[in-house]
Structure 1
Amino acid sequence: MRLPLILAACLATAPALAQEVKFFPDATLDCMEKQRLPGADDTCIGESARACFQRMKNPMNSDIAACMGKESEYWKGRMDAAYDRMLELAAEADDDFAKTAKSKDIPFTLTEDLAIQQQKWAEWREIRCAVEAMMRRGTPYTMTAAANCTMKRMGEQALFLESAVTYMETK
């Protein structure tokens, strides 16, 4: 709950967006396509936001934060899709495991653990990004720090869940 309040306060004191935000995920996707090391896709988070504000003439902090916000929305869509698919796969795995003798000794379910993990992750992200923003309070960078943190954490979680889906689909 802290981060939305911080962002609202920043937006209230920030000048109106001076420029139209034109966001496309292409730069991030191109970067990910060129990665040679497994697990290095997270280094591409933010590439499309950067391309978005670099297309602008003299972007203000609010413009930069708006581009980061658009990339956060992109990653949130991927994260939500991967989470939904992972829940389906977890339910199937839980059903299969319930048919084994080991299920009597291990009372936990992947679906429940996944839901708890996602909830706790969202709480952690909110607090983490509030701290990053508050470290810069009183400066022009509060808003961009919060937006950058949110974008990075959303991207990381999306990639984590997508890799979990890939693992579950191939095992």
Structure 2
Amino acid sequence: MRLPLILAAALAAAAPALAQEVKFSPDATLDCMEKQRVPGADATCIGESARACFQRMKNPANSDIAACMGKESEYWKGRMDAAYDKMAGLAAVADEAFAKTAKSKDIPFSLVEDLAIQQQKWAEWREIRCAVEAMMRRGSPYTMTAAASCTMKRIGEQALFLEDAVTYMETK
């Protein structure tokens, strides 16, 4: 729970410094992902749209850069939430089908429950991980951008993981 407070405080302190309009589009990230030819390489595209966002600005401040990263985080969060919801539905169907098998008595696990626990623990881990990355830079101008970058990357990775999980479950 520390990261939201750290990030909120950093962004609140920087809010007056936000002199430039943030024009975000996910296109650069999507274009990068479309060009990937190696499975799993989509994660290297996380941040491309944030970069395009702040590169369009004239002399972006750290707060501008962090704002662009925040916009890309929001984009990935939307994808992550949609994939999680779809995966939860697929997990419920899989649990129901598995419950009808003889193996279900020997393997008393629930994909629905495990998915929910995984998502909760992942969110806790992300907050701690990003707080550490930000605090390693405390007292420097990069605290805010470190927190924003870490958050953007971790949410993007989780979105891609869940989307891959959905694809796997749909082809099973």
Q: Shorter-normalised TM-score: what interval?
A: over 0.9
Structure 2 gaps of 5+ residues are none
Residues of 1 paired with 2:112 and 2:32: CA distance? 32
2:142 maps to 1:153: no
Q: In the alignment, which residue of structure 2 is the partner of 1:51?
A: 52
Residues of 1 paired with 2:93 and 2:86: CA distance? 11
SS at structure 1 position matched to 2:39: coil
1:100 Cα deviation (Å)? 0.2
Q: In the alignment, which residue of structure 2 is the partner of 1:135?
A: 136
Deviations 1:39-68 (A, max 9, x none): 000000000000000000000000000000
Please report the RMSD computed on the Cα atoms of aligned residues, expressed in angstroms.
0.7
Q: In the alignment, which residue of structure 2 is the partner of 1:36?
A: 37
Number of aligned residue pairs: give it.
171
Structure 1 gaps of 5+ residues are none
Which residue identity lines up with residue 62 of structure 1 in the other structure? S
Residues of 1 paired with 2:112 and 2:21: CA distance? 41
1:9 Cα deviation (Å)? 2.4
Residues of 1 paired with 2:72 and 2:108: CA distance? 39
Deviations 1:123-147 (A, max 9, x none): 0000000000000000000000000
Deviations 1:62-100 (A, max 9, x none): 000000000000000000000000000000000000000
Q: In the alignment, which residue of structure 2 is the partner of 1:105?
A: 106
Residues of 2 paired with 1:98 and 1:84: CA distance? 21
Misfit runs of 4+, over 3 Å: none
Residues of 1 paired with 2:91 and 2:56: CA distance? 42
The share of aligned pairs that are identical, in percent, is: 89
Q: TM-score, normalised by structure 1?
A: 0.98
SS at structure 2 position matched to 1:23: coil
Residues of 1 paired with 2:11 and 2:52: CA distance? 22
Matches of residues 1-80 of structure 1 in structure 2 within 5 Å?
A: 1-14=1-14, 15-80=16-81
Residues of 2 paired with 1:12 and 1:165: CA distance? 37
Which residue identity lines up with residue 6 of structure 1 in the other structure? I
1:5 Cα deviation (Å)? 1.4
Q: In the alignment, which residue of structure 2 is the partner of 1:117?
A: 118
Residues of 2 paired with 1:12 and 1:37: CA distance? 40
